Amino acid sequence: MEHLLRYLWDNNATDLHLCAGTEPRVRIDGKLFAIPGSEPLSVDFLDAVLTGLLSEEDADTYLADRQLDFAFSWADTARFRANAYFQLDRPALALRLIPSQIPTPEEIGLPESAASLLTRPHGLVLMTGPTGSGKSTTLAAMIGWINRNRPLHIITIEDPIEYVHPPQYALVNQREVGQDCESFEQALKAALREDPDVVLVGEMRDLETIQLTLTLAETGHLVFATLHTNDASQT
């Protein structure tokens, strides 16, 4: 597994796909390529990789649900968002590289109109778009700016945690669904009693999560959240 992650890193790839019965593939500049000289991966190899990455509890969930979202760190080099799943009754794994450095709003070209939201005292900021459009990276840059520049309490609720925000000028507490809390709903209810100024909701998946997110925004908090949509009308 180490040599596959190294190949991804050395070739500026964004994604790594591991499927039993086929060669490992990486995504470079939006296109998938088989890693040169690689051979089809065995079920035993994928099982060993997942055993090394998953806790016993996560492994049980993966086998029961036949899929699992999680994240992990590769030494001090990088962090990955991962989805383990089954296809043709065989294990598979998709990895997305998360940059180790949190980008600044300037580095991602955040418009001035959006940057002005970072100093708001309260309200709801929705980051919308299809998968891979940069929602997580944009929110990470915005939370990173607040962390560096405002003396506030930030709570993030994610599944899984992607970017890690060490406290700087702000106090940052990050909660991962399934590890630090049972659900988005539970964490949002608790957040109302945890004196937050800023709350990041990784994904609004259901009606109760949406209602609690709106309640936070209406009660004097600055709330950031994402929605998976393809266009403005869907949003």
Last residue within a domain, chosen from 43, 64, 98: 98
pLDDT for the residue numbered 205: 79
Q: How many C-beta atoms surround the C-beta of residue 233 within 10 A?
A: 6
Per-residue pLDDT, 235: 56
Domain-located, residue 156: yes
Is the same domain home to 82 and 171? no
As a whole number of angstroms, the distance between CA 164 and CA 149 comes to 17
Geometric angle at alpha carbon 164, from 218 and 35, rounded to 5°: 125
Are 80 and 128 within one domain? no
Matching residue, tokens 């209406």:
218
| 214 in the same domain as 129 | yes
For residue 40, what are the domain limits? 2-98
Calculate the CA dihedral of residues 189, 192, 198, 199 and round it to 10 degrees: 0
> pLDDT per residue over 128-172, tens digit each?
887 777 888 999 999 999 999 999 999 999 988 889 999 999 999
β-sheet with 78-87: strand ranges across: 31-34, 25-28, 15-19, 90-98, 78-87, 67-74
Number of folded domains in the chain? 2
Query: Tell me, what's the pLDDT at 233?
Result: 60
Could you tell me if 133 and 89 lie in one domain? no
pLDDT for 94 equals 97
The CATH number linked to 145 is: 3.40.50.300
| Torsion sign across C-alpha atoms 163, 164, 169, 172 | positive
The answer to the question of residue 176 being in a domain is yes
The answer on 141 and 189 residing in a single domain is yes
pLDDT at 188 (0 to 100): 93
Beta strands 222-228 and 123-129 are parallel
CA-based radius of gyration for the chain: 19
Residue at 103 is within a domain: no
Q: Which residues of the chain have pLDDT under 50?
A: none
* 71, 98, 125 - which closes a domain: 98
* Measured distance CA(7)–CA(13) in Å, rounded: 8
Does 151 fall in a domain?
yes
What was the pLDDT predicted at 30? 86
Domain boundary among the residues 56, 76, 98 is at 98
Where is 129: in which H helix or E strand? Answer: strand 123-129
CATH, residue 33:
3.30.450.90
Distance of alpha carbon 16 from alpha carbon 34, whole angstroms: 10
223 and 127 in a common domain: yes
Residues 78 and 179 in one domain: no
User: pTM to 2 decimals?
Assistant: 0.79
According to the model, what pLDDT value does residue 98 have? Answer: 86
CA–CA distance from 47 to each of 62, 81, 85, 89, 213 (Å)?
12, 18, 11, 13, 38
Is 139 in the same domain as 85?
no
Residue with tokens 């806790």: 55
